[in-house]
Each structure stands twice: as structure tokens, then as C-alpha cells.
A and B are shown apart, each in its own frame.
Chain A
Amino acid sequence: MKNIKKIISVLFSVILLFSTTTTSSVAHEKLHFVIGGGAGGGWDGTARGTGEALTKAGLLKSASFENMSGGGGGKALAYMINTKPANTILVQSTPLVLRSITRHKGYVKGNGTLSYKDVVPIAGVIGDYGAIAVAKSSSFKNFQDVVDAYKQDPSSVKMAGGSVRGSMDHLIGALAFQAAGADPNAVQYIPYDAGGKALAGLLSGETQIISTGLGELMGARDQVRIIGITAPSRVSDAPDAPTLKEQGFDVQFVNWRGFFGPPGMSDAERSALAKKLGDVQKTPEWETVRARNAWVNIYNPEDKFVTFLEKQTEEMTALMKKLGVI
């Protein structure tokens, strides 16, 4: 009996080993997903969901996953760049672009610049739009109300977000204020260390508006009123959330999630993978996974993806300069 803990632990480590590094013996058409964050995060869900849909739909023999935390995803990125592993793709999202812009800050030095240009963009697969929301009880009914109040007294509008200054949450709100002709740098941004905490801050009355991803707000839809999303048109999961565009503010922003190959990946392999990631989106297996996670399909393959990344880099660089974060 004194060994029970030992036995259980050994059992568990075996289970763990299997769950993290399962690879089928069927050698062809296997794919290894590298995830720059822990289990339960956004990258993790995207990789595991995509892998699940690909294998269940028969487009892939086997998928394996590897969590590699550290440096806000930088560790996994460096691994891809330095090791150039075969049959391996990396899941990433908008912060990769932001990292590319701020790289000169210097805490990443040595081999490689750690930007999206150092890996091979395969395809963007899904996305989450940015959203600005207020508490249900708020007197702000639309984004124009917020802008009016802001123009009257800039300190009367405090904007909560689930991450640091200069992060995506901050940029979403700043983009909206910029489109409304306000100085984005004068808007008071109040950072929290998670989306949930930012929401609690908003609902406690500490801040007046919240700027974050639409997905973060879905759980609290009964408590908040979404007054503007950064999508080109309304989305089916939240049909009552107006876009900023329809209110006359020309703002479009998408937090994409997509996959990247190691440097030196052949064009043929890249195209084959991009096609697979596109084809899977037409299958019912994908639809199951998508609906479960409330993802928005935004398929953006190869060169189109690169163009998109370049455009986003350009826009974000301009904005971040205005905000003084770079």
C-alpha cells in the first residue's frame, strides 16, 4: 500500500506521455503540432481542434501535439526556427505580428529575429473579431455615445482590457477611437491580467467600457451590451452585436489564428498543407469542432495570408507608434 502513490504516479506519467507524444506507427501523413502555450489556452484549443477534425475527416492519418510554453510563445517559435523539424507546424495568432513589430526591444537576441518572416506562413484558419462593450446598465447605447462622452471629458471614459498596454486588447479599442477622430493615445486604457478580470472590472463599475476579443465576451453576454465589433459584417454567433463599420467607423480587425511551417519548408508541402486546412473546413467534422468553440472560419491560404500579415503589420506599426509603445 505504501507503494500506491508510486504506482499511481507511474501510471499517470505513462498516460501523460501517451497523451502528449502519441504518434502513430503509420509513417506517412502524420502531422506534429507545436503549441507555444499550455493546455487549455487559445492556441492549444486551435491546434487540438484542427488536428481532431483533420484526422476524423480522414485527411490525416495521425496528429500529435506538443505544448512548449515560455516567452509568450517565443520559445516554440525559436524551436521551429532553430530545429526546422519535419512534418511539424506551429500554431500562432495576432501576437506574432505584434512581436515582429516590437522585436527591436531587444530581450530576444542572438539567432533569428523571431518574427513571422522567419517561419513559413501556411494558412490562417479561424479568427476572433475585436469587440467593445459596456455594462447592461450603462447609458452608452452605441459607440458614438462613448465618443461624445470622451470628447466632452476624456477622463470620463476608462477602457478595460485583458492584457498589458500595447497588447491586442488595447489596440482594438485604440483603433476604434482613432477611426472616430480621437487621439488614441489620450484614451485611458486600464490593463488587467486576464479577460475575465477585465470583465469583472467593467461590471464592478471601475471602468466604463471594455475592449477585448468577442470570444471573451460570449460567456457574459447577459451582463454586457456589445456596442461595436471589428468585423466587416455582423456575425452569426452574436447577431445583435452591431459592427463599428455600420455605425460609420471604418475599423476592421481580426485576431487570426493560423499555422506556420519551419523555415525551408518546400512550396509543394506548404501548398498541400494549406489545401488540407482549407478542405477540412468543408467537412461536418470541422463544423462540430467549430461550433463547439464558437470559432469564425476565416480561411486565408499561402500568399494571401502573407499579404494579410504584411498589411496588419503596417497598420499596427502605425498605431503602436501613435500609442508610444514602440
Chain B
Amino acid sequence: MIEGILIGLTTALTFQNILMVMVGCFFGTIIGMLPGLGPMTAIALMIPITYGFDPATGLILMAGVYYGAVFGGSTSSILLNAPGVPGTVATSFDGYPMAQQGKAGKALAIAAWSSFAGGTLSAIYLLFMAPSLSKVSLSFRSPDYFALMILGLTAIAAFSSKGQFLKAMMMVVLGLMLASVGQDSLSDITRFTFNNMNLTDGISFVLVVMATFAMSEALTIILKRNDPTSAAKQVSLTELGSIKINKEERTKMYKTIPRSSVIGFLIGVLPGAGATIASFLAYGMERNVVSDEEKEKFGKGSVNGLSAPETANNAACSGSFVPMLTLGIPGSGTTAVMLGALLGFGVQPGPRLYMTNPEIFWSIIMSMYIGMVILLILNLPLIPYIARILAVPKNYLIPLILFFSVTGIYVMSFNNFDIYLMIGIAVVATFLRLYDFPMPPLILAFVLGGLMEENLRRSLLLSNGSWEFLWDRTLTACILVTTILIVVWHIYKTFKKKN
């Protein structure tokens, strides 16, 4: 392995490759910040350029764009409640409230450090365990994925405090309903499309996020413009731009980062999950382990609640390289495009990649360390300036948010219908917001619901319609028991408090 690290370092540290990491990270950050345009599209358009390089360089560039986008996506999540990439949706749960409290710089700094730590730690896991991790990739079957999605749904508890329970549940149902639109995942029957061709592919996740988060937030601000409480929110610029993280917050992060990086990385390694699921799960799990006092702050600007998903999504990003490189299995659209590029280079992924192309395997891992340092250097000094976006008068900022939401959705599909659909959902979401309905449960249910249904029905197919799959495998049973314990524990706590 020492030999491998050396090979990786010598390849990754050439001038050209360092330059590519920098270029990749820079573009990735920008792509991540812009809603709609994701790393997959960027990498796909980049492929013709990369064929001029050798495989290692090309892949280093593409990997840089990928984790750069996940790193950069948190900025728009925190500042504008407009997640740039799906993996950073959970970041906005606590990042946006924190920014609204005038601590935008701090929130961005926490996100940057957490991303950095998540990316670096997972690269270490990758370095030491990649060969054996391919087994983890293949250990999950459909019933286990189903159980995992159920576990993920427990994160909804974070938004159902103080009389909000019923509202949160209603939003869950709404999310599940939206997820069921489009072609059924197992047969070719279309559901709830009203004979409209534009709906047969279903509603895209980014569209729902942009409509319920960015757009409806902007519309709510317009409707509440005369609200005295929002006028009082104007804070001093120095406080807004301050990136100082105090000792108490650091202590919290020291605890959150290691556990979230492990969760994120392991979920990332699974071909059927990914960075979005990883960040949701890390967020939910984090809430289960923090103190009662911190728990109350979740969804309202908790340091742990911000750090956990940010660590996890970057860790998951590195983790997704495991099935791609060691098995040739792409777990997401982005890794599928990269796998295609890799094959185009004439490189065969698989367990033998260490032997046949050691320079590729090790140099990607090594470039991740370099990339993380570059991203930190690129992001930290800019935070005080970027944070001042919030000081821009609302009558300029709101139209900009609306503009970028619309263009962001349009460049994804070049389909006008998506714009109308987004506006429609945003208007409904705005009404719901005015009546204090929380949006995160809708998003959680939308993402997890689709996967949950698909895996449940596949499990039933595999077991010939019997429900035994729920306890047939130890792994499934373990995840389900954990879920039940969490729920029971929450109920017990609630009752204890009432008495």
C-alpha cells in the first residue's frame, strides 16, 4: 500500500494534475452554487475535453468537479435556501435558519470545515479499506435498502416538535404523493400523469426542491414584507461576515464530524443510495444522539444539524468511487458518466484496477486530499464577501433568486412545462408556509418514498409475495429493529416530559 501511495502521490503531484484539481474544484464550486446545473451535466459536457489527457488526469479533473460541486452546493443552501445540488438539501435545514439569524459567515465556515473534514476522512477510509469495501457495496439487497429508507424517515421527527406533528405528517403524505407521479418504477404503467406526456418521467427532485425551498421562500418574503419581525432581522455586516467558530461550536463539531463521516461514507459506498440519502440519514441520526437541549435547536440553526449533513455528503461523494472503481458499478448518474469516460480511456475498472492501473486508482485518492485543501483555501477567504449577499436589499435579491430558480430548472430539461409546474408547486408551498407547514418533511418523503416503494415492491417480487423478507436477513432485521427502537424511545421521552 505504501508503494501505492507513492505512485499516487507522484502522479497526483505533477504540475498538470495539480492544475486539473484546481480547475475541477473551481468549476465544481461554481456549478454547485448554481441551482439546476449539476455535476452530471457538467462532467458529460466535459468528456470530449478530457480525452486529450491521460486517464488519470481526466479522472482527477472529473472527480474534482464532482466533489467541488457538493462542496459548493452548500453556499446557496445556506444563504438563499436554494440547494445547488440534491446532496446539499439537508444543509439548508439548519444552515438557512442560522444565516437568517445573522450568522451567515459562521454557517458557511462550519459547512466548509465539515465538508473538508468529511472529504478528507473519507479519503483516508478509501485509502485503507477500498479493497474490502467492495464487499460492503454488494452486501445490501433490496429488503435492506427498504429498511434503510424507513430508518431515514425517522429524521422527520426533527420537524415535528411542539404541535407540529400533524402538519409534518401531512407534508410527508404530500411528498409521497408527489413521488408517485410518473411511470411506475417496476411496470411501464403511468400514474397520475393526466395523459400529459410531460409528467410521464415523474417530477424531478431538483424541481420540487427549488419550488418548495427557494421559490416559495422568496414568495413568502414578498408576502411578509411588512411584517415587523422580518424588518428587525437586519444585522451588522461584520457579524454577517464573521467566520469565527467559537470553542463550544468546535467541541460540537469534533463529535459530529467523525460519526457523520462514517455514516456518509458507508451510505455512499452503496450503489442504491448516494449523497442525498447519506446527508438525510446523517441528519436524522445526529438528532438522535445529541443532548435534549441541542435537539430542540434542530431545524432552527443547530451547529450539529448543519455539520452532520455537510460532512456526510462529501464523505458519500468519495464513497461512491468504491463501487465505480472496484466493481465497475455506477451508483448514480454522475458516476455512470465517469465510468463511461473511464471505459472510453480503455481502462477496465474492477478488483484488478490496483494491479493494471495503479496510478489511476491511487492518484484519484491522493488528488482528493489535494482537492479538499484547495477547496478550503478557495472557500474560506471568500466567505465574508459571499455572506454579504444577504445584505443586498431584498428588492434586488428576491428577483435574482426567482430568476435563477427558473433558469436553473429550464437548463436541466429545456422543457417549458417544468417552469409552469415549478411555479404551481411553489405557489401551493407558499400558502402552506404561511400556515406554518414545514417543508423538509415533504422533501424527505419525496426522496425516500420513491426508493422505499421501489425496493419494497422488488423485495416482494423476490420473495414471491411473502413478507418474510423483513426478518429473513440479519441486516434487514437489524436496521428495522434500530428504527423501531428509535421510534419507541422518542415516544417514551415525549410521555415522560408530559408527566
B329 with A72: CB separation less than 8 A: no
Which residues in chain B, 42-87, are within 8 Å of chain A measured between CB atoms? 43-45, 48, 51
| Cα distance, A40 to B46, chains bound together (Å) | 10
A261 at the interface (CB under 8 A from B): no
B349 with A70: CB separation less than 8 A: no
A109 contact set on B, CB distance < 8 A: 195
Flag the segment in A81-89, A188-196, A299-307 that touches B: A188-196
For B387, the closest partner residue in chain A by CB is A2
Which residues in chain B, 368-397, are within 8 Å of chain A measured between CB atoms? 382, 385-386, 388-389, 391-392
B385 with A200: CB separation less than 8 A: no
Closest chain-B Cβ to A126's Cβ sits at a distance in Å of 15
A107 with B193: CB separation less than 8 A: yes
A12 at the interface (CB under 8 A from B): yes
A221 at the interface (CB under 8 A from B): yes
B386 with A4: CB separation less than 8 A: yes
A293 with B344: CB separation less than 8 A: yes
Which residues in chain A, 64-116, are within 8 Å of chain B measured between CB atoms? 66-72, 74-75, 78, 102, 106-109
Closest chain-B Cβ to A204's Cβ sits at a distance in Å of 5
A40 contact set on B, CB distance < 8 A: 40-41, 43-44, 333, 336-337, 340
Flag the segment in B30-38, B112-120, B211-219, B432-440 that touches A: B30-38
Closest chain-A Cβ to B396's Cβ sits at a distance in Å of 10
Closest chain-A Cβ to B272's Cβ sits at a distance in Å of 6
Closest chain-A Cβ to B412's Cβ sits at a distance in Å of 7
A191 contact set on B, CB distance < 8 A: 185-187, 458
A283 at the interface (CB under 8 A from B): no
A270 at the interface (CB under 8 A from B): no
| Cα distance, A67 to B271, chains bound together (Å) | 27
User: Quick one: which of B141, B195, B328, B352 has the most chain A CB within 10 A?
Assistant: B328
For A155, the closest partner residue in chain B by CB is B464
0/1 interface trace, chain A 149-173, chain B, CB 8 Å (1 if under): 0000001001000001111000000
For B33, the closest partner residue in chain A by CB is A5
Closest chain-A Cβ to B262's Cβ sits at a distance in Å of 21
Beyond A12-B37, A191-B186, A219-B339, whether A196 also contacts B198 by CB under 8 A is: no
| Cα distance, A39 to B48, chains bound together (Å) | 13
Which residues in chain A, 172-207, are within 8 Å of chain B measured between CB atoms? 188, 190-194, 196-197, 199-201, 203-207
B147 contact set on A, CB distance < 8 A: none
| Cα distance, A72 to B413, chains bound together (Å) | 12
Beyond A19-B45, A193-B185, A220-B349, 17 additional contacts (C-beta under 8 Å) are A1-B388, A2-B385, A4-B385, A9-B34, A40-B336, A68-B413, A71-B198, A71-B201, A75-B415, A108-B197, A188-B461, A191-B458, A203-B329, A204-B140, A206-B142, A206-B462, A325-B188
Closest 6 CB pairs of A and B: A222-B350, A40-B44, A219-B328, A71-B197, A220-B328, A1-B385
Q: List B residues at the A interface (Cβ < 8 Å).
A: 30, 33-34, 37, 40-41, 43-45, 48, 51, 137-142, 183-188, 190, 193, 195, 197-198, 200-201, 271-272, 323, 327-331, 333, 335-337, 339-340, 342-344, 348-352, 382, 385-386, 388-389, 391-392, 400, 404, 407, 411-415, 417, 454, 458, 461-462, 464
A-B contact pairs, 13 of them (CB 8 A): A9-B34, A38-B40, A38-B412, A68-B413, A70-B415, A106-B195, A165-B188, A193-B185, A196-B330, A199-B329, A220-B329, A222-B348, A325-B187
Q: List A residues at the B interface (Cβ < 8 Å).
A: 1-2, 4-6, 8-9, 12-13, 16, 19-20, 38-40, 44-45, 48, 52, 66-72, 74-75, 78, 102, 106-109, 155, 158, 164-167, 188, 190-194, 196-197, 199-201, 203-207, 218-223, 292-294, 325
